[in-house]
Structure 1
Amino acid sequence: MSVAKFSIGKIIHHSLFNYRGVIIDVDYKFLGSEQWYQEVARSRPPKDQPWYHVLVGNSVHQTYVAERNLEIGEDISELNHPMLDEFFCGMDNGHYQLKVRKN
């Protein structure tokens, strides 16, 4: 099993598509369907490495991205995304703070 390089709340930069985003969930390996992988993951990133659920900055989109296509975001300013408040309660030192969910 691979160790994830990025954690939830980390601001990242997508190296292929040049966008900023924030990690909202981490899968230890690719957990999508084979059909999705064939149709969407055109660069054929490894399935046995971590994959991340990412809110894309300045959009309403959420993506599923292989670790090899991500790098630490140098711009750690706040992102603009309508779902940020559903996951995070604020930002501390360039890292979004996960909301504590109550039952």
Structure 2
Amino acid sequence: MKQKNAKFMIGEVVRHKVFPFRGVIFDVDPEFANTEEWWNSIPIEIRPSKDQPFYHLLAENDDMEYVAYVSEQNLEHDESEQPLRNPQIYQIFEPRDGGQFKPKMILAH
């Protein structure tokens, strides 16, 4: 299987193309790495291919903050520059210009 390069980077703000949520990427899998149960819970008509990058997001919608796992084909850059309210984002990342984030430096003791 040919490995694809990830289109999005850690710290990038993205939004889902179909569902109304957005968030910050905190990890990337080069291809699907979740459970079959999770995979099968996606309706077949919108189920993405497994051989593409999948992203872990600190996500939010109008109602709540949560962690999401999303295929590359279902994400796009979020250009809104609207503030994100998920408190976990600010524990892991520092804001950068342009509405993106960079991981905080963690010093070992």
TM-score (ref. length: structure 1): 0.89
* Alignment match of 1:89 (pick from 82, 91, 94): 94
Q: Does 1:64 align with 2:69?
A: yes
Runs of 4+ in 1 over 3 A off after TM superposition: none
1:1-103 mapped onto 2 (5 Å cutoff)? 1-39=3-41, 41-42=42-43, 43-58=46-61, 59-103=64-108
Task: Give the helix-richer structure, 1 or 2.
Answer: 2
TM-score (ref. length: structure 2): 0.85
List per-residue Cα deviations over 1:63-86 (Å, max 9, x = no partner): 000011001112123211021122
Residue 20 of structure 2 aligns to a residue in which SS? coil
d(CA) in 2 for partners of 1:87, 1:37:
28
Structure 2: 5+ residue runs without aligned partners? none
Give the letter for the 1:93 counterpart.
G
1:60 positional shift = 2.1
How many aligned residue pairs are there? 102
Larger Rg: 2
List per-residue Cα deviations over 1:42-91 (Å, max 9, x = no partner): 22101110000011135321100001100111212321102112210223
Structure 1: 5+ residue runs without aligned partners? none
State the identity as a percent. 39
CA RMSD, Structure 1 to Structure 2 (Å): 1.4
